[in-house]
Homo-oligomer: A and B are copies of this chain.
Amino acid sequence: MEKIAIGIDIGGTNSVIGLVKENGEVLVSGGIPTQAYQEVDAYVEALEEEIRRLLAEAGEKEVLGIGIGAPNGNYYNGTIEFAPNLNFKGIVPLVDKLKERFDYPVIKLTNDANAAAIGEMIYGGAKGMNDFLMITLGTGLGSGIVSNGELIYGHDGFAGEVGHVIVEKNGRQCGCGRRGCLETYCSATGLVRTVFELIGTTTLPSRLRDKVKEGDITSKMVYEAAIDRDELAVEAFRKTAEILGEALANSIAYTSPKAIFLFGGVANAGEYLIDQVKMYMEQNVLTIYQHKVDVIKSALPGADAAVLGASSLVWKEAKKIIA
């Protein structure tokens, strides 16, 4: 019988569910609105219903397990802990709750960036790579670190918060309550903050100055302006790349990865981001690491990436059980 893994990507708004083959093909997918549930038990009930509906749709399969990517997910405990963007407060023992409902060999949970890192290793550009770094550029900056072929979870399950490395003393205020965290500069949100800062501090001409009056500026608008050589947008990308390049140069000194993968919408801004990040990284890295580390766009397909990442937890774990 064909083996499949169930991947669940839990976001603040929606939870996306996919039934995934080992080659990364998503057989069927569905989802439920996370934010519609105030209580975790009602949420888990709805999750089970949707999974059983998808399994019926997919037909006879051998399910190896469920992998979950969730904000503030703790791999060791299978819990979601104090996630600021979810209705479920405190520590939620999600894996235990799913084990009461499903009898699969593997039910595992981790945070979204760790799931993306394992996804890259199982389905993406990091196949066969033992040492790499995954950086996800979304609302914040997430990271997953793989060393010696294993994801680093740390003693408490919370390793890999590179977005909260302080890169600028007394720098920008961060949602975490401190100042100068990398993600306040290098993320979709950080890019837009840089645009506002440049509007205030420079006289660079920019069509984004007019957009401010119309409403929100998005990272996509900044990218489109940069493509049209909008001076302020180009400078915003340069500054983002400079700070990220410097931070990655420092990151290399910890785990000496073979490659750094960039994931998420902002990472698609090829020459404006990745090429410049690489340049600034090389300018700042210790000599012994020079010209050794690739900076690469994630090979995970955009739309399914989060679900694929989550489902990859199952294959990774299943291999350990078989081995």
Contact = CB atoms under 8 A, between A and B. Distances in A.
**Number of chain copies forming the complex:** 2
Given A130-B155, A154-B257, A250 B166 contact: yes
A255 B152 contact: yes
B255 A254 contact: yes
Contacts of A154: 131, 147, 255-257
Given A147-B147, A156-B256, A156-B292, A250 B286 contact: no
A155 B176 contact: no
Given A178-B286, A246-B166, A255-B254, A152 B158 contact: no
Q: Is the interface of A mostly helix, strand, loop or mixed?
A: loop
A251 interface: yes
A284 B178 contact: yes
Sorted nearest first, the 8 A-B pairs with minimum C-beta distance are A154-B256, A159-B256, A155-B258, A131-B155, A161-B253, A164-B286, A165-B250, A147-B152
Interface of A: 72, 81-82, 129-132, 145, 147-148, 150, 152-162, 164-166, 169, 176-178, 246, 249-251, 253-258, 284, 286-289, 292
